[in-house]
Structure 1
Amino acid sequence: MSGYHFRLLFVAGLLSATLGVRLAPAATPQAYDPWPGLVQDIFKNRPMNDGADVIAIEMPYRAEDAAIVPVTLRTKLPPGDSRRVLTITLVIDQNPAPMAAKFELGPDAKVSEISTRVRVNNYTDVHAVAELSDGKLYMTKTYVKASGGCSAPAAKNADEAKSRLGQMRYRQFAGSGHGAVSGTREAQIMIGHPSNSGLQMDQVTQLYIPALFVNELRLWQDDSLVLAMEGGISISEDPNIRFTYVSNGAKRFRAEAKDTDGRVFRREWKIDDSGI
């Protein structure tokens, strides 16, 4: 250190000691927050209202496996509220493709809960944005500690994934307040699909595996829409959607899924009248 700089530091120290002034450390740059840009890109800069009384999002604070992080979206409108939730958009702010999924709720299905599994690439805020029939957007968020989910190797090898491609299963569950009397159903759709993110590397060739994922899913009871999903690379391998809805007395449940290669998968099941 030169004598000039030493004298400057010495004088600064004397001033600090004499006047009781503490020299503030240099300001550190704030961490980049992508949310304002995402509001512009995904929601066209529409105003965001507080969604604490409209929509809830549940995720683990620290994920055990970043490639299969559970997430539950739950509507919170009280029974007397005349508004209806039209769509719920799930945004994982720090993911390479932040819009993980957009769910459209059937007009008569009264979907109240949706659960799935997602990939999380970095420590991030995760937003749930509900669009209501009043034309407004309502937002809530949570924070998740996870990293590397979008580039994590597939859990199944290529041959196994290929053999399961497009296979669909439907399950119904019994639960408190669910059943034939209330008309409420809790069900699950599982789709065999690799859901390649485009960021995963083939361990043999060391080349990136092209993106291939389910980008559309539609579910009906008879011909009435229950739930539709527009998906992205953040949905985990073998997409799994669990949801609660109100039965209209239909005797069959139908599903149609499409992937980014243009494949269409369809399946139909009979519904148990007991709701179980």
Structure 2
Amino acid sequence: MKKLCVILMGICALSLATLAQAEADPKLWAVVKEAFFPKRDIQEVDFLKIDAPRRAESGAQVPVTLTYDKAAANGVVIKKLYVIVDANPIQLASTYHLTDQLNGFQMATRIRQETDSFVRLIGETADGKLYMAKREIRAAGGCGGTVDNNEAEVRAAAGKIKMNVAAPDMGQPATVTFNIKHVMRTGLQRDLVSQGYVPAFYINKTTFTYNGKELMTVDVGVGTSEDPYMKFSFIPDAPGKLEVVATDNEGKRFTHSVDVSS
């Protein structure tokens, strides 16, 4: 516990320095890596990739496309992908648990950034080997600030899901677009009137299945933008039903399904 506190204090100190410099600070990574992957080697590779604007229009909605090119990986099978934003107060934005039905992975989504930072995509194999891609992105103000929401409206809207699948040919990639209405409060925002911190309230997990078999589970963090959005592909081998189950940090459960046919 003492060691973890020292690590977190180091991250906070370096984050403040980064804010002062107003540019991505590569020195943060040594501290973040020790917190999440202590004493483990991580190899930078080309088969993982992050596509994103050099400068985002809004730190609250930073568009990124995350790619694991299985064909280019020379037999390296990634089972888990971590998205880490070095300079965020809470660095782990999300974790993707992959299955063979995805046949590789490409995910368009949106993340939060509090300040300029390196964003990292860390891939892990079943035997614990780690691989990485990184991207420097300039953005600001995505994690904190103030909120002035109508609480009743926020609660009533939370969990409403839109999902569709582009009509596929069986055995070929089918594109899924998923969006869930949710305010995704980080716990670092202040109430506009009282100036007190507003408690965290966010989607924490989404699980996608096709005909009862798991496609992907996403551990969602507060580094994910409001109204989480995901666009990805999978390969259906027969007509069937795509289902998603989402939960939030208060234990609420939201479900949706769509029929898939050629």
TM-score bracket relative to the smaller structure: 0.7 to 0.9
Q: 1:112 aligns with which of 105, 124, 129?
A: 105
**SS of match in other structure, 1:212:** coil
1:46 corresponds to which residue? 40
Residue 164 of structure 1: aligned partner: 157
Contact 2:170 2:238 in 1 (8 A): no
1:209-251 C-alpha deviation (Å, 9 max, x unpaired) = 1111111111011111111111111101111111112113241
Preserved contact between residue 95 and residue 220 of structure 2 (Cα < 8 Å): yes
Partner in structure 2 of residue 237 of structure 1 = 226
* DSSP 3-state at the match of 1:162: helix
**Could you say what secondary structure the match of 1:163 adopts?**
helix
Work out the CA distance in 2 between the residues paired with 1:94 and 1:141: 13
Deviation at 1:82, TM superposition (A): 3.2
Per the alignment, residue 96 of structure 1 pairs with 89
Q: Following the alignment from structure 2 to structure 1, what is the Cα–Cα distance between the partners of residues 224 and 102?
A: 23
The residue that corresponds to 2:30 in the other structure is: 36
2:57 is aligned with what amino acid? Answer: E
Relative distance call for 1:262 and 1:157 in structure 2 (3 A) is: same
AA aligned opposite 2:210: Q
Structure 2: tracts of 5 or more residues without a match? 1-24
Q: Is the 8 A contact 1:221 1:248 kept in 2?
A: no
Are the structure 2 counterparts of residues 61 and 35 from structure 1 closer, same or farther at C-alpha, using a change threshold of 3 Å?
Answer: same
Distance across 1 between alignment mates of 2:68 and 2:148: 32
Q: Among the aligned pairs, what percent are the same residue? A: 26
Give the aligned partner of residue 254 of structure 2: 265
Unaligned 5+ runs, structure 1: 1-30
Once residues 124 and 196 of structure 1 are traced to their aligned partners in structure 2, the CA distance between those partners, rounded to angstroms, is 21
Which region of structure 1 is more displaced relative to structure 2, 135-144 or 89-98?
135-144
CA distance in 2, matches of 1:66, 1:79: 32
Pick one of 51, 58, 62 that aligns with 2:55: 62
CA distance in 1, matches of 2:134, 2:93: 14
CA–CA distance in structure 1, aligned partners of residues 171 and 101 of structure 2: 15
Bigger proportion of residues as helix: 2
SS at match of 2:190: coil
Which of 169, 172, 184 matches 2:173? 184
For residue 71 of structure 1, what is the aligned residue in structure 2? 64
Label 1:45 to 1:212 Cα distance change in 2 as closer, same or farther (>3 A).
Answer: farther
Stretch of structure 1 that moved more, 95-104 or 259-268: 259-268
Cα deviation, 1:33-81, whole Å, max 9, x if unaligned, reads 22122222212332101222x2110111111011000011011232794
Query: Does the Cα contact within 8 Å between 1:154 and 1:237 map onto a contact in 2?
Result: no
Amino acid at match of 1:47: D
Match for 1:147 among 140, 148, 157?
Answer: 140
Structure 1 runs, 4 residues or longer, greater than 6 Å off: none
1:73-126: CA deviation from partner (whole Å, max 9, x where unpaired)? 011232794332211110000001001001011233324201111110011111
Return the alpha-carbon distance in structure 2 between the equivalents of residues 49 and 87 of structure 1. 15
Task: Flag the 1:32–1:130 CA change in 2: closer, same or farther, 3 A.
Answer: closer
Letter aligned with residue 110 of structure 1: N
SS at match of 1:37: helix
Please say which structure displays the higher CA radius of gyration: 1
Within 5 Å, which residues of 2 pair with 1:126-145?
A: 126-133=119-126, 135-145=128-138
Note if contact 1:111-1:243 (Cα within 8 Å) is conserved in structure 2.
no
C-alpha deviation, 1:32, in angstroms: 7.0
Distance 1:79 1:40 in 2: 29
